[in-house]
């Protein structure tokens, strides 16, 4: 029986994780659940899974949550609030595994704390790794933590790696990684129409059910840019060894090309419970609740190279990882601000890469050799990106 802490329990990954955990009560006990402001969903989860701890980051909402519990059958639940509480529950002695599913830079510190504490970190937060890069991987190595990727693509790559492979290692027999992408909802939209697409259109992903921020990242393909950077770090590969392949059906989740000409692909329905279940059961397997893949219903699979004119965010991501230092941190921070501005109707869809590129050009790139430098860069980039966004006319 392993104890699990789910950071970001009320998001899509958190909900899927609890679905899988509930199928295997003999293997996992829920120790802690965290949410930012969604106390109604958190309450339902606490009622169903009876954790020992619940964290509501927003302190005002935490007080509301406490009031809500007074008239409930839930007893013995310790309620914590604030950002520091996330790090506290991620490092509890009774916690063996931490699902790091908080979206964006907010997930960095608790994910890093879990890694430093030697936990099994189930990493669904790609931004944390993009921001902190070598610092995060060094923490994993020094503490003896196990880092298992949850993104469907990185989980697929991990499954296709040689037996006994551990993230951060260099698999010498591997020639390259083929990182698949659906291409999002605008893969075939005429370029002149992209400026007028709405947030509702951008979050309507053709294959996956994801949160708004990640859905917009998929539409711009910044999601794939961040995943490319993450793949370089997780699998100790150079950027030129990561080939992005648009695969609209989202059946092959990624491939690994070996030096002997063998290409191994991991396939399955687009259901996040599959990589979650794989990581929870690793190195074994158990039922995820996902439907078996009907290869006859799929009938065909298509592949194409990404168009960098259509997806300029990909170009920016390659520039960031090739330059290194604090540039990936700048890229990530600017993207988060730009996506938020788009979702709030403040900028056009096509302004997202404009803001990111201007922010990347506005700062001197420094060595990302300390957490303090990374956090300072993140904050400066956010302020600069907000100013850039404000200067763009909708």
- Mapping DSSP onto H, E and C, the string for 312-356 reads HHHHHHHHHHHHCCCHHHHHHHHHHHHHHHHHCCCCCCCHHHHHH
Q: Which residue has the tokens 């922010």?
A: 359
Q: Is the pLDDT of residue 288 over 80?
A: yes
Q: Provide the pairing of β-strand 120-123 with 146-149.
A: parallel
Domains parsed from the chain with CATH numbers? 2-149 (3.40.50.720), 324-394 (1.10.1740.10)
Query: Mean pLDDT of all residues in the chain?
Result: 94
Q: Is residue 36 predicted with pLDDT exceeding 90?
A: yes
Cα 384 to Cα 105, 362, 389, distances in angstroms: 16, 8, 9
In angstroms, rounded to a whole number, what is the distance separating the alpha carbons of residues 152 and 275?
6
Predicted TM-score (pTM) of the model is: 0.93
> Tokens 């259901």 sit at which residue?
271
What is the predicted pLDDT for the residue at 394?
60
Query: Average pLDDT of 305-327?
Result: 96
- pLDDT digit string (tens) for 65-79? 999 998 889 888 999
**4 contacts 33 by C-beta, under 8 angstroms:** no
pLDDT-based confidence at residue 126 (cuts at 50, 70, 90): confident
Over residues 159-182, mean pLDDT: 94
Find how far residue 393's CA is from the centre of its chain: 31
Q: What is the pLDDT of residues 195-249, one digit of tens each?
A: 999 999 998 866 666 678 889 999 999 999 999 999 999 999 999 999 999 999 9
At 209 the pLDDT is 64
Alpha-carbon distance values, 67 to 34, 53, 57, 76, 193 (Å): 17, 16, 16, 14, 49
- Residue 258 confidence class, pLDDT cut points 50, 70, 90: very high
Average pLDDT over residues 14-28: 97
Closest by CA position to 83, among listed 57, 112, 48, 44: 57
């Amino acid at each position: 029986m392993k104890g699990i802490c789910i950071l970001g329990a009320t998001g899509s990954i958190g909900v899927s994780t609890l679905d899988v955990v509930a199928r295997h009560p003999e293997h996992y006990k829920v120790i802690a659940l965290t949410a930012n402001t969604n106390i109604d969903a958190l309450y339902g989860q606490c009622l169903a899974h009876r954790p020992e701890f619940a964290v509501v980051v927003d302190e005002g909402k935490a007080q509301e949550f406490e009031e809500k519990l007074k008239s409930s059958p839930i007893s013995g639940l310790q309620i914590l609030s604030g950002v520091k509480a996330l790090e506290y529950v991620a490092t509890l002695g009774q916690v063996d595994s931490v699902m790091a599913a908080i979206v964006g830079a907010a997930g960095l510190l608790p994910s890093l704390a879990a890694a430093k504490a030697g936990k099994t970190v189930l990493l669904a937060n790609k931004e944390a790794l993009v921001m902190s890069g070598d610092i995060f991987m060094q923490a994993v190595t020094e503490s003896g933590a196990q880092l298992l990727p949850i993104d469907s693509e990185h989980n697929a790559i991990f499954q296709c790696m040689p037996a006994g492979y551990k993230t951060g290692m260099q698999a010498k027999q591997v020639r390259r990684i083929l990182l698949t992408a659906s291409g999002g909802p605008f893969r075939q939209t005429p370029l002149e129409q992209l400026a007028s697409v709405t947030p509702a259109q951008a979050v309507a992903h053709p294959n996956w059910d994801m949160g708004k921020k990640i859905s917009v990242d998929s539409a711009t393909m910044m999601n794939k840019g961040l995943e490319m950077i993450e793949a370089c770090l997780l699998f100790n590969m150079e950027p030129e060894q990561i080939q992005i392949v648009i695969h609209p059906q989202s059946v092959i989740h990624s491939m690994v090309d070996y030096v002997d000409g063998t290409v191994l692909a991991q396939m399955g329905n687009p259901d996040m419970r599959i990589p979650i279940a794989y990581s929870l059961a690793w190195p074994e397997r158990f039922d995820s609740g996902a439907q078996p893949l009907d290869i006859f219903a799929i009938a065909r699979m298509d592949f194409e190279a990404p168009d960098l004119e259509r997806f300029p965010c990909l170009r920016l991501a390659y520039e960031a990882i090739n330059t290194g230092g604090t540039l990936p941190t700048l890229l990530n921070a600017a993207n988060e601000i730009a996506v938020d501005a788009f979702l709030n109707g403040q900028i056009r869809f096509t302004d997202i890469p404009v803001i990111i590129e201007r922010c990347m050009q506005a700062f001197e790139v420094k060595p990302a050799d300390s957490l303090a430098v990374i956090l300072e860069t993140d904050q400066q980039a956010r302020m600069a990106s907000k100013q850039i966004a404000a200067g763009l006319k909708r």
